[in-house]
Structure 1
């Protein structure tokens, strides 16, 4: 999709009709690329083409039907709207069954053409975005810090510098933001990645269990040359924190023995958002050579579609679940459980347990597209605080196209802005 206007490739051998139809589409906010015959269109439209195609059927040489078949052979997801001055019901049925987006008889109602093109444009935008997100998700791998928000980009840029720096790290973030994942990435990226990544959940230690941590053959000693991950450090009791402070300072266990056992471990500690106040200062300041913060998902909603595709690629193999089945998740505004909650939502969709996804899948494709388009516009207006100019920038559509779609979809813009 172009940065300013959605694209329509308009194919018609009648110069006057092509000009008139092109003007109609241009006024509606589209970038129109006109072609006088099918071969010219075929040369210009490939799988990377981000727009939709509107073509006459009856043309000399290569017909619109042949053009449709050639284009969809290249890209089965490319929406093609066919126009003909010859009311041929059998032809319409056959091409619609073959995958044509819509079929209009000339003279057609201008609103019918605009409605068909608008739905096709939304579907194409979704296809292109899903392909981009799927490629990014596949490039990221299964256990990567996924996202393109500024906060996540900064964290990814920091990881290579931290990996071999041998500095202890404190990671702060809400439950479900991925603190353990970040710790594993730090461990895996450096020379310590060849050795153990040892996890101690400080919130799950039963009373008296610290002895098993701190003796010569205990859990902490197993992290020698590797990484020790102290999860939920802020939920450890005060006695454990005091002993951890001694361990961090001396890097040894069995401190009461004649010869304490040295442990060469890099420590990454995770605390909840605001958890620093529950950590002894003597312990926190010894560990916090570097402090990182993982933002909640509510602060990086632009990452939701990419994360949904990432989890879909992880969980949906062989199930037939597609990007359209999780597209509705992008419109949700709250994720109190953060990335973990989003992953569970994708798993429910894959298993057919998501009632919203199941109801969405039972709708005809045009209705599903309309619902997705309505959600995108509503979300953009909300994110823009009711500022239409900002919303159109987020959606990357012209203002006139925005207002046309708001009216066509029956969106209460005034009520939405007031809310």
Structure 2
């Protein structure tokens, strides 16, 4: 669950600090206040999980000096400056140094909330990208997010590494909930544009006129944000729900792509989230745009095709939620493992995340089953049935692998403890670990 963004409020006037803090707290933000720039700098580091609102005129270190210090430590940190009436030169200087925007006293609280929302969204995206780049900084670490040992996931990781190094536009399609946006982040993070802008626009979330301005401009004089195609210059522009683009906007996007040189100034990653049965992105995009985007293409595998990845993901997710809620993760029985493997998972990984969280919550209460959770999601289906039957041997092996994996993780790689709990001789345990690709070093 997403954590509320912090807002650091820096102002030497106590009444002003308190009024800003109270207003923003009502909007759902986690605020903290500082009476001086010097105090604020003790807390505001390069990875500060939020934004800053600071007065310009303060005794000691003023707001401009604070802004310069903050920009030197992290140039992406959004800082909103508060200026006195008529302090236009100071506001201009603040914007030149790198301020996100400014508010002139007396300011409208709603205007402040709107600026805080925009700045927080920008900060969240920056921090998400930064964290993902760290995790994906080495090709082998891409698994930190894209978990799974199934052949389709192995192929997906190879595709990401290959296409990440390429420079053409990319089309990502597949069923809802399969992680298409995560893959778009990964493509950017493992490629040559990793240090450049990553801009994401949801085409389905905006009306056509607003979407046109957001993508291509012209922006209004009061707008401080560049059109997305300009904002992402040199980096990656991700278009979620690309199929929602009207014919007019598709034509304009194609025109912009044709005007760019080779390699493209802005790499476009289009995500197709078609919900209609029997429809594909090729059916709804104009052919010339489709073929430009689909020259490099990734189709996300549905969860039901990922075999025992389902159990691996469920285990990791339930452990994360158990830690979050301060309780033990539920133990999965052989029957429940079979039910997880057999479920059709129409909501894919997104549905699995939901099931894992609810399983932890009901386990904490001491009631409920995984079967009941699957049934409540889709009352019309039998959770232990699937359209793709598997031999009993596969279910047994998947459960056995999960059981050994869980036990190794719980005992932090202690072979003796695992042998004792599972009543297995050393040779048998070694053979099974080799069979399932489990390495003791991974649990130490």
Higher Cα radius of gyration: 1
Please give the TM-score of this superposition, normalised by the length of structure 2. Answer: 0.46
Q: Relative contact order (alpha carbons < 8 A, sep ≥ 6): 1 or 2 greater?
A: 1
Q: What TM-score do you get using the length of structure 1 for normalisation?
A: 0.49
